[in-house]
Amino acid sequence: MNKRIAAFAIACMLIMSACIDVDNPIDDEVVSATPEMISNISTIQDLSQVDYDIKKETVMRFTPDYLHESQKDKLKDIIVIDARWVEDENGAAPIIDAYLQYRGFLQKDPYSVIRVGDIYTIEYYTDNDRRISCFIVCLDTGLDKEGYYFCVTYSWDDLQNIGEIEYKNNQSGDALYENLFNTEGVQVANISYAYFQGIPFSFISKHETADEISYDVLNRNQKFWLYENAVVFNEEEKAIGFNSDIYNKHDERPIPEEFFLAFIYDEKDRLKFIHEEFLGEHGEAGLEFDVLSLEYHENGFLKSVEYNFYPSFYFELPQNHRNRGTWDCSGIINYDEQGRMIYRDYYITHGRHYCVYLYKEESKRPWAYIEFCSNSYSGENNYGYGNDTTLYLFQDK
């Protein structure tokens, strides 16, 4: 699919991240990142030697506002191209080359190439002197034969300091809790986690927030917010269901009694399906369908999840049931062989959103998260530009 990017592929993945300037944090304002944008960490071979003390990371965000007059000259910093239009008959990629040349990267080798199976390949460029960075993402969406290229260039001066996350992991590298502080050092959210045998998702045992952004930066390696107090257990204390709505991560209230989310396990006692069951008016069995369907790698780690949540208008739901819309009502998630979420795409009313997650070595915490919208602000010459894009960077302190 992509001869040009394949030529850059490397056997060993180099990992990099953006280093954050927190010496002068300004809440809700754009602040600059320090010149040192790249850092590497070593693979941890012996978990018994890990320091499980409290750790901290700084959060930066890039999300251009094209409606603002000062941003209109940057509309073409983000473009999307159908992969069928990228390569010519000689295997060259003139559109990508022109994009890189205009931004001063054409004569540079990418700092890193990140390849994740057949799902995506990312070239990462950075220029410390000019304080800019660029991602070229070749994405096989699985929805067509070729896929798309997303190109994103951003100035370090346009990175917004969101605040700081304080967290602690268990010996398996899974989070025990996370606390979010704003740039003034005020705690605005906290979350604690629990884990159950046979279920590859974390459960939220405690969650308090006064900041909407916490839903983006906390629990970021999971799509679903499953609340522990909504888990239903049988007499053997095995989780058999969920009495809340996993569609809405903001809401942990119990769902009405006529609805129930049943956990279905496979022959290896691993969660295989989550069924949503609608009981009839008098308690008899009613409509049932898969909300989540899970597949596993041969090594036992989670491989993929497909989910479907039917919008409210599909059924005559009671007034106290959730008001479901079509945004993110269906999607697919891919995981690497360590069970880490690496890719997600989901339905939106005007197209789809595509999300990629990047990790350092064995860490279970993404150091970068990029989300693209398929819908372009405008377009010309076989490419669209000005697509809504959000980039989060997380830097260990």
Would you say 372 and 79 are in contact if contact means Cβ atoms under 8 Å apart? no
At 12, the pLDDT band (50, 70, 90 cuts) reads: very low
- DSSP, res 42: P
Q: Does the pLDDT value for residue 258 go beyond 80?
A: no
The radius of gyration of the chain from alpha carbons, rounded to an integer in Å, stands at: 22
Tokens at residue 245, please? 């709505």
Q: What is the C-alpha separation between 355 and 187, in angstroms, rounded? A: 28
Bigger pLDDT: 310 or 315? Answer: 310
User: Contact 86/2 with Cβ under 8 angstroms?
Assistant: yes
**pLDDT of 378 above 70:** yes
Give the C-alpha separation, 283 to 13, whole Å.
55
> Residue written as tokens 């700081």?
164
pLDDT at position 83: 78
Is pLDDT of 156 > 90? yes
Evaluate if residue 178 carries a pLDDT over 70. Answer: yes
Q: Give the pLDDT confidence score for residue 324 in this predicted structure.
A: 59
Model pLDDT for residues 267-311, shown as the tens digit of each residue: 999 999 998 766 555 444 555 565 889 999 999 999 999 998 765
Q: Residue 141 in contact with residue 345, Cβ under 8 Å? A: yes
Tokens of 103: 């931004």
* pLDDT-derived band at 3, boundaries 50, 70, 90: very low
Supply the pLDDT for residue 293: 94
pTM equals 0.80
State residue 40's pLDDT score. 28
Cα 188 from Cα 182, distance rounded (Å): 7
Q: How far apart are CA 215 and CA 3, in angstroms?
A: 38
Can you give the pLDDT at residue 25?
30
Q: Alpha-carbon dihedral of residues 177, 183, 186, 187, nearest 10 degrees?
A: -20
Residue 311 contacts by C-beta under 8 Å, 6 or more apart in sequence? 324, 325, 326, 329
Write out the two tokens for 227.
């609340």
pLDDT the model gives residue 70: 61
Q: What is the pLDDT of residue 259?
A: 65
Contact 159, 171 (CB under 8 A): no
Q: Please give the pLDDT value at position 257.
A: 57
Dist CA 185 CA 27 (whole Å): 10
Per-residue confidence band for 127, with pLDDT thresholds at 50, 70 and 90 = very high
Per-residue pLDDT at 202: 94
Q: Are 342 and 355 spatial neighbours (Cβ–Cβ below 8 Å)?
A: no
Q: Which residues on adjacent β-strands are paired with residue 59?
A: 163, 394
- State the pLDDT confidence band at 160, using cuts at 50, 70 and 90: very high
Averaged pLDDT score across all residues of the chain: 77
> Please, are residues 391 and 16 in contact by the beta-carbon 8 Å criterion?
no
Q: Where are the beta strands (DSSP E) in 93-183?
A: 112-116, 120-127, 132-139, 148-155, 160-169, 175-181
**DSSP 3-state assignment of 101?**
helix
Residue (of 384, 363, 344, 76) closest to 223 by Cα position? 344
Residue 389: partners with Cβ closer than 8 Å, 6 or more residues away: 62, 63, 64, 78, 150, 152, 370, 371, 372, 373
Rounded-to-integer distance, Cα 214 and Cα 326, Å: 23
pLDDT greater than 80 at residue 200: yes
Maximum average pLDDT range among 7-16, 41-50, 77-86, 134-143: 77-86
Only one residue has tokens 């917004």, namely 160
> Are 324 and 309 within 8 A, CB to CB?
yes
More confident residue, 45 or 111: 111
